[in-house]
Amino acid sequence: MGQEMLVNGFCKVDKDGGPRTNGKICRNPVGLSRISMSDTHGEDSPYFAGWKAYDQDPYDAVKNPSGVIQMGLAENQ
């Protein structure tokens, strides 16, 4: 498996073991938190599952009263 390398502030994986742009090894991209890097924060999270369900079957009072209501998004006004 390749090494993660820090290149221009971002992690880059050196898959072939070839020359590296710089010598800094990083543990995660741009210092992101363990929570943001976890599997539960990606597209498979319940948050995104809710969005996918909403996109496939959105609620409409007249046309689709049994559709999904998206309640996982805060709105700033």
- Delimit the domains of the chain by residue range: 1-30
Answer yes or no: is pLDDT of 49 > 80: yes
CA gyration radius for the chain? 20
Give the span between the Cα atoms of 22 and 15, in whole angstroms: 15
What does the pLDDT average to over 34-46? 67
Confidence class for position 19, pLDDT limits 50, 70, 90: very low
CB-based contact 21:12 (threshold 8 Å)? yes
Give the span between the Cα atoms of 73 and 45, in whole angstroms: 14
State pLDDT tens for residues 52-68: 899 999 999 999 999 99
Answer yes or no: is pLDDT of 21 > 50: no
